Each structure stands twice: as structure tokens, then as C-alpha cells.
Structure 1
Amino acid sequence: MRYVKFSVMATLMLALMGQASAQVVDASKPMSIAELAVYQGPDRQAKLIEGAKKESGLSVYHVYPALTNIMNEFGKKYNIKVKSWRAGSEAVLQRVTSENRGNKFDVDIVQNNAPENEAAFREKLLQEVKSPYHNDLLPQAVPAHKQWVGITVDIWTAAYNTEKIKKEDLPKSYKDLLDPKWKGQLGIEGNNHAWFGALMGKMGEEEGQKLFANIANTNGISNRKGHSLLTMMVSSGEVPLALTVYSWNPEQLKVKGAPVEGLALQPLMAQPSTIAMLKKAPNPYTALLFYDYMLTEGQKQLHDLKFVPTSKKFELPFPKVPLNFIDPAMALDQQAKWFKMFEDTVIKRSK
């Protein structure tokens, strides 16, 4: 009986040894993009650098203008040629989607808002990546499917002109904007339906819509396109108080001496801005090298540019104010509803 047990155990051991040997042989072969993207070996960095030397460079589609500076620093560090194309979030998503349908695979990395890259995930355009640096990030920056990752947090805040509005006169809540003193003073970014829909969810849809309709009817809300443009209008005094800019917009202008300051009206809504590797990236080693770079050195560079990095090493602005992260999947599923709600409640009443 003991002999039989030993024979069975010996057979199992030999089988396992054979499997291990086969795995060693398989590991020596060139990795597929999927295998490389989830590789966690201690030589990951060295493997990516060596592989990138044999590729043609890095191609990135992006929405952040400032990402160009970081890409240039990456290119200098690794002696890699970088080419990029920048447009709005919808245009970037449309180009990636249409090129894939046309079997054109020229882009390695796409940087976009979380809902747009979530849409690209649903279209099966993206590659799951397991980076050793994921654990350094806010949990909201790493979705379960790991097919995009947050590099910054876009926090919607108000912003005011410090020469036009005294600190003691600032609103403490959205309800304060019903005061007649705000007549002709307010502005909003015209594409913020996700912010508005999620905000209504926190405030209560019926109550929230009624409040914003009353604000628009009573005091008017001017409609502007572009968060950076709206912030510049605040700094010039054309729009004394903007309701929806990104928290980093005023900070970037303050460096240049602009009289503008952010204001955290609650509930404070946020979503990640993300990067993703394309499933058919032509330069996978370089793409992953840049991916890891954006989660390490890139985080410090983003912080220095006044963005809000997703790395837990950096303190969030308004640290005592809770952040309400918008679920990117919900933003997609509710897009039509939220768009109509924002249009009917605010945009059509804008003055």
C-alpha cells in the first residue's frame, strides 16, 4: 500500500517537473502583447527597456495639452522618438474606434477621460495591464478590469475672481446662488452633463433640478465651452464666478499671477483622467514603459504642473472635503439622460 502511494506521488512529482520545464521553455519564447502586459517578473523594467530599443517609438493620442511636456521628458530619458495627436475627448475616442474598424493600428497609448476610455474598453480596443505601481494609486484609479488606469483626478470646483468677489461674500452652498447679488455673475462649462447628472444624484434629482432651474431663471448662468477658457474668463473678470472648472485650472493660472482662486462647493464631484494601452499597440514594449513611467516619474511631473496625481504620495486639494467619484460605467449608461437633464435645466436657460 505504501509502495502504491509512493508511486502515485512520484508520478505526480515527475508530471509537475515536466510542466515546470515546459513553462521555462515557453518563457524563453517571445511574449505576446497580452503576456507582456501582465508580466510581473523582477526584470520587468529591464525587459521593457530592451524591447523598446527594437521598436519604432511611441505613438500617443491625448486630450491633456500638458502631456506633451511629459512625453518629451520620457523620450529624452530613454532616447525614444515620440509622436502624438491631441483633440477633445470625443474626437480621440472616435479616432481610436474608427481606426480599429479600418484595421489601422498606429497608436500605442490613449489618454482620455475615464468614461471615454471605459467606452473604448467596451469596444474591446484596450489591453489589460498589471503594473507593479498600481498599488501606489488611489483605488478609484484602478478598475477591476485594469484596461485603463487613472493618472490624475479631475475635480470639478467653482472658481472666482479675487478682485471682483470678496472672500466673505463667497457662497457656502449652491442654494446661496439664489441671492440676487449673483445676477449676471455666473458661468458654467457647457459639456458638464456627467458632473450635473452625478450631482443631481447626490442632491436628489427633483430638488437639484428645481434649484438649478431657479438659479438660472433668477440670476442667469452664462454657458462657455472649455474648462481652461472658462477659468481664463474668471481671471479676466468677464465671468466673476464659474461653477465648473477643474481644480487644477485656477492653480495653473495663479502661478502666472492671475487673480483667481478655487472654491469647493459641496457635493464635490470627481473622475479620473486615464491612460490605456491599445490591444494592438504597434510598440508594446515602449507603450508599457511609458505606462509605468506615467505612474512613477510622471506623477511628480503632473504634480509640478499643478494637476492632481492619482498617486497616494501626494495630498489631494481640499483634503477635508469628501470626493464623490463618478462611476465611468454609470456615466456611459446614463449619458443620454444626464445630457437631457443638463440641457433642459441649465443650458437652455443660460444667458
Structure 2
Amino acid sequence: MRLRNRWLRLGALLCTAVLVAAGCGEAAPEPGANEVDRQDDQLSLAQDEGEVVWYAGLELSLVDTIVAGFEKKTGISVDAIRLGGEEVATRLLQESDAEVHLADVIYTGNEGNFVDFKKRDLLAPYRSAELSHFDKAYYDEDLAYYVPYANRFWMVYNTNLVPESEAPKSYADLADPKWSGALAISHPGYSVGAAIVPFFWSQTPGLGLDLMDKIAANKPLINQSVHDSMAAVISGERKVAVVVNDAGFYTDGKGAPVEAVYPTEGVPTSGGGVGVAKQAPHPYAARELLDYILSREGQQIMADASRTVFRDDVTYPAGYVPPTSGDQNLYVVDPAEFAAKHDEIVTHFQKVFGV
């Protein structure tokens, strides 16, 4: 895996364009507008391209493991740009507006991003070689993107600091003054999960976005990611994390004095998304990486990290609680509704917390 400066990559792309125009080199033919199926010589063409640029809104440990497996299997180098999910979306839109095309594969934890990307015609439809292993609920009807996993969002408390009998049972409990200086919350402008939970509040009678104002009165620690909030609870810096995804609980919290709370109002759950950029500089390598992420090997990497994936041929670690177990009262977030509400959530958060 190589990490390179964005502007160096842009310069390289411009130089390549000049050389090809001058007849000093030849570029591999790009897939035609209607060629959504995998081509027989796709791997060979991808290896000729030699690299793929991945905008990865995913934990670094997962990115590293996926990259290592893909590079070993294909010999194609991955330039992985690790960002927060909303940072991926912002960068892609800014680069598109500037007509700068650097990304080959796009990955965020928010399917709503991909609803927006599709509307903006930023995705290249592709019928993945792994399509038959996925129910149609987990890919776009026009094959513009796929849903490789889902997150459930819980609260978490430190069991050394909070007895089970005193732990919050609901999101409404977080307004109790006894949690003053004891909460950790994540910023929805950076973390997708930190926006999913307030969206759920906005859709739930008796909660609403006004719950942010009540939580703000308890002076929570503001973090960028849900993993930072989890770390604050593990260390004892705070007693309760308002938003933690299930993967963070199982991985970051393994062996730590923490316990999950399924809020009585419900457990919001939301899918991530992955797709090929329409103007991908390395379109064949992009397709190969997408296929790998959706393959049994790629999905097993996610399952090993306690991600909820949608293939039926993977296994999960011991102790993993699947979505169908327990009294979780799942609330499945509609990606289009979430996308429409996202900016309002971020604006309200910034106004209430001043960040």
C-alpha cells in the first residue's frame, strides 16, 4: 500500500495525459458506457494499469488487511486514502466540481452518500462477479453501488464506573443531570454514525433533535469518530459513550470494562456503500478491488472484525451477537431520508455544541 500526496498524484495523471496525447504511451481502453459486466481479460487489463486509488472511509486496520489481501492476490498496488466517511464524500464532490478525478473506488459507512453520488452521476455501474452472493436488497438496482456491511449503533458504559442498575437504559436518560461531565459524543460532520443516531432521534416521538440541546447541558466530550468516544469510555475519561457502532464495541472493546446498551427507543442500523467512480483513472483495477471487497475473502475480513455482512458463507467471532438475537428493536435507516436530513443534523449539532 502506498500513501502519496494528492497533488503529486494529480501531477502524475496530468503527465500521463500529456504523454498519451503526444503518442509516447498507450492507455488501456476504458470500459464502454454499456459494459457493466466483468470482461474476460479484466484482471490482465487491471494488472496493466498497475494500481488503484481507494478513498476508504473505513477503519485503518480493516483497510490495511483488505489492501494486503488484494495486493497479494492480484499484484495490483493500492493507494489507500484513509478518511472519515463524510470527508470522503466532501473530497469527492469538491474534486468533481473542480473536474479533478483521482479516486477509483469509493467507500463510506453511509449508504446515503451513494444515493447522492448516483444522482450526481459520479458512479460507474458494474455487475460484480460476486453479485449472485448478495440479496437484491444489498445492491443498487442499477448496479451503481453495493452495500458490503451494516452497522448497529448502541450506547456503551464503563462497568468499573457505572453499576448495571444505574446505566442509562434509553437515549432520553442521557438528559439526566447525573451524566454531567460523564458523556462522550461524536461529531456528525466527521462521523457517519454520529449522524445516524441523531437522525433516529429526529424520527422518534418524544426525542427529536432537541435531545441534542439536553445532552449539551451535560457538557459531553466531543470527539471526531465513534471509536474516539469508545476509547474515552474504555480509559475512564468518560462513563458513557452516546454513539458506538457494533464493530467498535467488539474490536476496540475486546477485554475492556465496557458493556453495550440497546436503547429502549430502538437500535438504529445503517449500511455502508462501495462503488467505482465514473471517471476512475484505473477503471479495470477499480472493478477488481470492488470484486475483492465483495468476495468471500473480503467479506470474511469484515466479519472477523465483527462487521455485519450479507453473504451466507462467512463465519463470525465467538461472542458476536447477530442482529436477529436479543431485544434490540432494530430501526433500519432509509438512506434517502437520511441523506435529505444530514445537513440539518450537522448544522444543529454545530449550533448547539459550538463546534
TM-score by length of 1: 0.77
RMSD: 2.8
- Residues of 2 paired with 1:293 and 1:35: CA distance? 22
The CA distance in 2 between the partners of 1:84 and 1:339, in whole Å, is: 27
Q: Could you tell me which residue of structure 1 aligns to residue 334 of structure 2? A: 327
Note if contact 1:253-1:260 (Cα within 8 Å) is conserved in structure 2: no
User: Aligned AA for 1:328?
Assistant: P
The residue that corresponds to 1:195 in the other structure is 197
Which range moved further: 329-338 or 108-117?
Answer: 329-338
Report which of the two has the higher share of helix: 1
Cα separation, partners in 2 of 1:200 and 1:47, compared to 1, 3 Å: same
Partner of 1:15: none
- Aligned pairs for 1:205-216 (under 5 A) are 207-209=207-209, 213-214=213-214, 216=216
1:92 counterpart (85, 88, 94): 88
AA at the equivalent of 2:101: F
Provide Cα deviations, 1:278-319, integer angstroms capped at 9, x if missing partner.
Answer: 112232222222212111211100111233324355676342
Quick one: structure 1 residues 343 and 198, their matched pair in 2 at CA, closer, same or farther if it must change by over 3 Å?
Answer: farther
Q: Shift of the alpha carbon at 1:252?
A: 1.2
Whole-Å Cα distance in 1 between the matches of residues 95 and 176 of structure 2? 50
| Cα distance change of structure 1 residues 220 and 57 upon mapping to structure 2, 3 Å threshold | closer
**SS of alignment partner, residue 48 of structure 2:** coil
Contact 1:118-1:328 within 8 A present in 2 as well: yes
Alignment match, 2:18: none
Q: Give, in whole Å, the separation in 1 of the partners of 2:224 and 2:66.
A: 26
Q: Which moved more, 1:132-141 or 1:149-158?
A: 132-141
**Is this contact kept in 2: 1:196–1:342, CA < 8 A?**
no
Match of 1:304 in 2: 304
Change in Cα spacing, 1:168 to 1:148, as seen in structure 2 (3 Å) is same
Q: 1:164 matched to which residue of 2?
A: 161
Q: CA deviation at 1:207?
A: 4.7
Q: Deviations over 1:115-147 (max 9, x none)?
A: 223322222110112225345346553233331
Q: CA deviation at 1:31?
A: 7.6
User: Is 1:140–1:325's contact at 8 Å kept on the other side of the alignment?
Assistant: no
**Residue 224, structure 1, aligned to residue 223, structure 2:** yes
Hey, what's the Cα distance between the residues in 2 that align with 1:68 and 1:222? Answer: 29
- Post-superposition offset of 1:229: 0.9
By how many angstroms is 1:87 displaced?
A: 2.0
- The runs of 5 or more residues in structure 2 that have no matched partner are 1-28, 189-193
Which structure 1 segments of 5+ residues have no match? 1-29
- Number of positions where the alignment pairs a residue of Structure 1 with one of Structure 2: 310
Alignment check: 8 A CA contact 2:156 2:240 kept: yes
1:1-351 counterparts in 2 under 5 A?
Answer: 32-39=31-38, 47-64=41-58, 65=60, 66-112=62-108, 113-137=110-134, 140-191=137-188, 192-201=194-203, 203-204=204-205, 207-209=207-209, 213-214=213-214, 216-217=216-217, 219-255=218-254, 257-265=255-263, 266-296=265-295, 297-313=297-313, 317-320=322-325, 321-343=328-350, 347=353
- Once the two structures are superposed, residues 59-96 of structure 1 have per-residue CA deviations (whole angstroms, 9 ceiling, x without a partner) of 21112122132112111111112212122233322332
Rg bigger for which structure?
Answer: 1
Amino acid at match of 2:243: T
Q: Measured at CA, do residues 170 and 58 of structure 1 come closer, stay the same or move farther in structure 2, by a change above 3 Å?
A: same
Shift in alpha-carbon separation, 1:341–1:81, aligned structure 2, 3 A: closer
For the residue of structure 2 that corresponds to 1:262, the secondary structure is: strand
Relative distance call for 1:280 and 1:179 in structure 2 (3 A) is closer
- Alignment-mate amino acid for residue 108 of structure 1: D
In the TM superposition, residue 272 of structure 1 has moved relative to its aligned partner by: 1.5
Normalising by structure 2, report the TM-score.
Answer: 0.76
Write the deviation string for residues 146-203 of structure 1: whole angstroms up to 9, x where unpaired.
Answer: 31212221222111112112233323223344555434322211213443123321x2
Large movers: runs of 4+ above 6 Å: none
